[in-house]
Chains A and B, each alone.
Chain A
Amino acid sequence: MKKLINGIKNLVIGLLTTGKHLGRHAITIQYPTQKWEMPERSRGIVVLLSDKETGELNCTTCLLCEKACPSSAIKIVYEKDEKGKRHLKDFIVDHGLCCFCGLCEEACNFSAIKLATKYEFSTYTKDDLLWHTNKLQEVGRDVPYEKVERKKPEAKPAAPQPTTATPSKPIAEKQSAKTGEAISPAEPEKNPELGEGAKPQEDK
Chain B
Amino acid sequence: MTASKALRTEEFLVNMGPHHPSTHGVCRFLLTMDGEVVIKAVPYIGYLHRALEKICENRTYPQCLPVLDRFEYCTSMSCEYAFCLAVEKLAGIQAPERAEYLRIIMVELNRIASHLIWFGTTALDLGAITPFLYGFREREDILDLFEMTCGQRLTYNYIRIGGVSRDIPSQFIPKAKEFIDKFPSKIDDYVKLLNENPIWVVRNRNVGILPPELALSYGVSGPVLRGSGVKFDLRKDDPYSIYDRFEFDIPTGKYGDCYDRYLVRMAEMLQSTRIVKQALEQLPEGDIKAKVSPQFKPPKGEVYSRIENSRGEMGIYIQSPGDSKKPLRVKMRGGSYNHLQVMPEIVKGGKIADLVAVMASMDIIMPEVDR
User: Contacts A17-B192, A103-B62; is A41 near B166 (CB within 8 Å)?
Assistant: yes
Q: Name 15 A/B residue pairs within 8 A (Cβ), A-sorted.
A: A14-B192, A14-B197, A17-B189, A39-B148, A41-B148, A67-B294, A69-B63, A100-B152, A100-B155, A101-B66, A101-B155, A102-B157, A157-B295, A158-B293, A203-B58
B137 at the interface (CB under 8 A from A): yes
Q: Are A161 and B151 in contact (CB under 8 A)?
A: no
In the complex, what distance in Å separates the CA atom of A203 from the CA atom of B55? 12
Complex: how many Å from CA A162 to CA B295?
10
Among residues 127 to 173 in chain B, which have CB atoms less than 8 Å away from a CB atom of chain A?
A: 130, 137, 140, 144, 147-152, 155, 157, 165-166, 169
Q: Which 6 A-B pairs have the closest CB atoms?
A: A157-B293, A43-B151, A70-B63, A101-B66, A41-B151, A167-B295
Q: A10-B197, A14-B193 are known contacts. Are A41 and B66 too (CB-CB below 8 A)?
A: no
Q: Is residue A151 contacting chain B, with contact meaning CB distance below 8 A?
A: no
Is there contact, CB below 8 Å, between B196 and A43? Answer: no
8 A Cβ contacts from A1-48 to B: 3, 6-7, 10, 13-14, 17-18, 27, 39, 41-43
- Is A143 an interface residue, CB under 8 A from the partner? no
Q: For this complex, into which size category does the number of interface residues on chain B fall? A: 35 or more
A142 to chain B, nearest CB (A): 18
Task: Tell me which of A6, A18, A41 contacts B198 (CB under 8 A).
Answer: A6
Question: Does B253 interact with chain A (Cβ within 8 Å)?
Answer: no
Q: Indicate whether A106 reaches chain B with its CB closer than 8 angstroms.
A: yes
The answer to whether A77 has its CB under 8 Å from any CB of chain B is no
How many of A's residues come within 8 Å of B, CB to CB?
A: 38
**Which chain B residue lies CB-closest to A204?**
B58
Further contacts, 5 of them, CB under 8 A, given A70-B66, A101-B155, A159-B296: A7-B198, A14-B193, A69-B63, A103-B63, A166-B295
Q: Is B120 at the interface (CB under 8 A from chain A)?
A: no
- A41, B149: Cβ atoms closer than 8 Å: yes
Interface majority SS (helix, strand, loop, mixed), chain B? loop
A10 with B291, Cβ < 8 A, contacts A39-B148, A106-B165 known: no
- B residues with a Cβ closer than 8 A to A are 58-59, 62-67, 91-93, 130, 137, 140, 144, 147-152, 155, 157, 165-166, 169, 189, 192-193, 196-198, 291-299, 325
Which A-chain residue is minimally distant from B160 (CB atoms)?
A106
Instruction: Mark A residues whose CB is within 8 Å of B.
Output: 3, 6-7, 10, 13-14, 17-18, 27, 39, 41-43, 67-71, 99-103, 106-107, 115, 157-164, 166-167, 203-204
Point out the residues of chain A lying under 8 angstroms from B293, CB to CB. Answer: 157-159, 161, 163, 167
Chain A residues positioned under 8 Å from B192 (CB to CB): 13-14, 17
Number of A-B contacts (CB under 8 A): 97
Contact of A3 among B155, B193, B198, B297 (CB under 8 A): B198
CB B152 to nearest CB in A, in angstroms, measures 5
Using Cβ atoms and an 8 Å threshold, which residues of chain B touch A69? 63
Contact between B63 and A68, CB atoms less than 8 A apart: yes
Cα separation A128 to B176 with both chains bound (whole Å): 40
Q: Are B151 and A99 in contact (CB under 8 A)?
A: no
Known: A100-B155, A163-B293. Is A41-B169 also a contact (CB below 8 A)?
A: yes
